[in-house]
Amino acid sequence: MSTEVLDVVQYAFELSDSKIQLNDYLGKRIQLNWTGVIVCRKCSKTTKKSFGEGFCYACFISAPEASPCILHPELCEAHLGKGRDLEYEERNHNQPHFVYLAATDIVKVGVTRITQIPTRWIDQGAKKAIILAETPNRYQAGLIEVALKSVFADKTNWQNMLRNINDESIDLIEEKWRIEEILPSDMLEFLTDDEEISEFHYPVLSYPQKVNSLSFEKTPQISGTLTGIRGQYLIFDDQNVINIRRQTGYEIEWDA
């Protein structure tokens, strides 16, 4: 799903021959039918099983988009001129990165390329976020993230996010400057003075009390009244949700 930040985050499905503005379907019944076909996002070949976020197995173990440093930035070797695809690594990983704090029910630390702000925060369904540090490459950002994992989580509690459980007492500015006492001295030079807090409002009519996660593998036909969109999840009136990002490469038919 693509996003656009307005007063309320705008979501759209990018289909092969059209673009569907999902916000227009809030409160309406939609149906997603999986045709049984999975296409690798990298090589475009059909595959029996999807690995990672939309790869065939061959691409999963060879494509730079599926490198271990995607999930673990501290493993990145782009700054050393190494990687699965040096041109890709130079263009995407040996570039300035932000380390950030994002808040929902807890404070989470994360890493992303500068050009991915605020998209990265929206994809995670963050309520609010603040930039913590700016580094010259992904590797250095990953080292800072690792140094902070003993204090902050590095994963979003997606069930709490979809139930709209927030901690309004979280002060991201206070949390940011508390880090001065935590980070090793050689990392403090990357801290920014930026205290701007970004806040996001998602198109949700109602949140589920419980969350039932669906996938096309187990439920090829998913339908219901669309009651919300947050992060990369569609929320339905029967408390079912589906993570669209995890279904990358699945060929679906849209009906509404």
Q: Tens digit of pLDDT for each residue in 195-212? A: 999 999 999 999 999 999
Strand intervals (E) in the chain: 2-4, 10-14, 19-21, 29-38, 97-103, 107-113, 128-135, 197-199, 212-214, 221-230, 233-236, 240-243, 250-255
Residues 169-193 pLDDT 10s: 999 999 999 998 889 999 999 999 9
Task: Pull the structure tokens for residue 199.
Answer: 């806040």
Q: Which whole-number Å values give the CA distances from 205 to 202, 229, 230, 246, in the listed order?
A: 9, 9, 11, 23
Give the pLDDT score at 156.
87
Task: Pull the structure tokens for residue 85.
Answer: 């695809």
Question: In this model, does residue 16 exceed pLDDT 80?
Answer: no
Q: Domain map of the chain by residue range?
A: 2-255
